[in-house]
A and B are shown apart, each in its own frame.
Chain A
Amino acid sequence: EAQVTQNPRYLITVTGKKLTVTCSQNMNHEYMSWYRQDPGLGLRQIYYSMNVEVTDKGDVPEGYKVSRKEKRNFPLILESPSPNQTSLYFCASSPGSTNTEAFFGQGTRLTVV
């Protein structure tokens, strides 16, 4: 089954404790991206990757890192999480560029206390 898989689905952590949210897709898509979704603000793009070893900042990249060492994986790293990073996070992949339909993961609900 074609899918985007994120782990974990739920995470509660403390301020400053480094964490990684994994994202993997099995559709051989080139384009992958991370979003956060907050009430009243909608989905905002954090980082995106056009292909392996190519990443770029989205609208809200501060406090986040990403890497794209393999085509299928695109982990999101929070080096020193803060409470304002409490949010619902989605990973997405697309077959081509931004201008094609995106497939989203199920989401990761992160709480930083």
Chain B
Amino acid sequence: EDQVTQSPEALRLQEGESSSLNCSYTVSGLRGLFWYRQDPGKGPEFLFTLYSAGEEKEKERLKATLTKKESFLHITAPKPEDSATYLCAVHFYNTDKLIFGTGTRLQVFP
């Protein structure tokens, strides 16, 4: 069964303390991997799409990378405004559905 697992569930960082979030998936053929940010009480907001192993995307303090089994969202020198839940979603080859992980809740303290 296709599955998407995110770790850690929650992460507390001091402002400026860089770290990484992980998204791993069981492989039945990856068509695309997506990262979203979700603020409390709001809908997810698109960040990145990755399609093939070795691909990287960057936006401000965020950088997403992809291997054959997992993706990382690297956060460099985070600020309190980066606090949110980060969701990973995968589109597998044998389906038209998008499967989401349960997310990593990030809190950045000043």
Interface size class of B (residues with CB under 8 A): 20 to 34
**A82 in the interface, Cβ–Cβ < 8 Å?**
no
Given the complex of chains A and B, what is the CA–CA distance between A48 and B95 in angstroms? Answer: 12
**A90 in the interface, Cβ–Cβ < 8 Å?**
yes
Task: Tell me, rounded to whole Å, the shortest Cβ–Cβ distance linking A93 to chain B.
Answer: 11
Interface residues contributed by chain A, number (CB under 8 Å):
27
Contacting pair A102 B98 (CB below 8 A): yes
Given the complex of chains A and B, what is the CA–CA distance between A50 and B91 in angstroms? Answer: 15
**A103 in the interface, Cβ–Cβ < 8 Å?**
yes
Q: Taking A43-B87, A98-B91, A99-B31 as contacts, is the C-beta distance between A48 and B43 under 8 angstroms?
A: no
Question: Which chain B residue lies CB-closest to A59?
Answer: B97
Task: Tell me, rounded to whole Å, the shortest Cβ–Cβ distance linking A43 to chain B.
Answer: 4
Contacting pair B43 A42 (CB below 8 A): no
Contacting pair B96 A56 (CB below 8 A): yes
20 CB contacts below 8 A, A to B, read: A4-B43, A35-B100, A42-B87, A42-B101, A43-B100, A44-B100, A45-B97, A50-B96, A59-B97, A90-B43, A92-B43, A98-B32, A99-B31, A99-B32, A99-B91, A102-B36, A102-B98, A104-B36, A104-B43, A106-B42
Q: Which A residues lie at the B interface, using CB under 8 A?
A: 4, 33, 35, 40-45, 48, 50, 56, 58-59, 90, 92, 97-107
